[in-house]
Structure 1
Amino acid sequence: MLILGTHLNQKQSLLVSLQAIFGLNHTNALKICSLVGVNPKVKFTKLTVNQLNRLTRICREEIDSSLLRVTQNDVQLLIQLKHYKGTRHMFGLPVRGQRTRTNAQTSKKIRKHVLNESKTRQSVSKKKY
């Protein structure tokens, strides 16, 4: 089943499979199930065509495709305002108060491609003035 560009598992319950869509958490999935009028534990194979149409329409209203863009714009705004959280995002450090002495190297974060520092140091040291 394909809803909002996400393949949903038909073997799982409706509640669990709706959470695979970006931006839908447990609470939003429960709200969508109640709006459609379906038990959250029902599987996709038990839904009627009318219920599937209502489900896709409500999901489109609930989650806009620009949600990812909105979150990226929020981070960029924090960086432009030179907010503390913005500087933490800019340097790729933990934002929400996690320790950085030991565990920041292995945290779940977006890895930025950094030039190999050893190559740049070698090229600087080879220059003769």
Structure 2
Amino acid sequence: MPFIVGTSIPEDKVLVQSVACVYGIGLSQSKILCKRAGFGLDSRGKDVTFSQGKDLENLVEATPLPLGPDLYRFQDDNIRHLCVISSYRGLRHRKGLPVRGQRTHTNAKKRPPLRLKFNAS
């Protein structure tokens, strides 16, 4: 079972869907990566040898996009910046309310408030 950016690839699932489970890779990007690695659309995780898994992992890591934990950190930093500068969106994140203009009259009150740790520097 190969690992790609810290995510294990299940052996019984279609390889294109398995690669799409990596945070930051969608289904279309996954199809492109599997095609470049030489896999068909019906390949499964059990068909991947160790060397093919390394090739696929190198292709995924060569993408210029942040993936996995780097993407989580990037998004958290952006939200933290909005909270620090006290923008409207940052205040909505902090209060746990919808950020993008959704209604709050009858729903969207159950989300927990954002708990970010701020550095004193």
Query: What TM-score range do you get, normalising by the shorter chain?
Result: 0.7 to 0.9
TM-score by length of 2: 0.76
Q: Secondary structure at the match of 1:51?
A: helix
Q: Which of the pair is proportionally richer in helix?
A: 1
Task: In structure 2, give the amino acid aligned to 1:77.
Answer: H
User: Does residue 79 of the first structure (1) align with residue 83 of the second (2)?
Assistant: yes
Moved over 6 A (4+): none
User: Take 1:84 and 1:16, find their aligned partners in 2: how far apart are those partners?
Assistant: 37
- The structural deviation recorded for 1:10 is 1.1
Query: Which consecutive residues of structure 2, in runs of 5 or more, have no partner in the other structure?
Result: 115-121
Task: In structure 1, give the amino acid aligned to 2:27.
Answer: H
User: Take 1:90 and 1:74, find their aligned partners in 2: how far apart are those partners?
Assistant: 13
- The structural deviation recorded for 1:97 is 2.1
Q: Secondary structure at the match of 2:82?
A: helix
User: Take 1:79 and 1:31, find their aligned partners in 2: how far apart are those partners?
Assistant: 37
Specify the alignment match of 2:117 in structure 1: none
Aligned partner (choices 56, 66, 72) of residue 68 of structure 1: 72
Task: In structure 2, give the amino acid aligned to 1:34.
Answer: K
Specify the alignment match of 1:25 in structure 2: 26
Aligned length: 111
Query: Which consecutive residues of structure 1, in runs of 5 or more, have no partner in the other structure?
Result: 114-129
Specify the alignment match of 2:51 in structure 1: 50
Specify the alignment match of 2:104 in structure 1: 100
- The structural deviation recorded for 1:102 is 1.5
Which protein, 1 or 2, shows the higher relative CO under an 8 Å CA cutoff with sep ≥ 6?
A: 2
User: Does residue 38 of the first structure (1) align with residue 39 of the second (2)?
Assistant: yes
- The structural deviation recorded for 1:16 is 1.0
- The structural deviation recorded for 1:42 is 0.8
The structure with the largest alpha-carbon Rg is 1
**Contact between 2:31 and 2:41, CA under 8 Å: does it hold in 1?**
yes
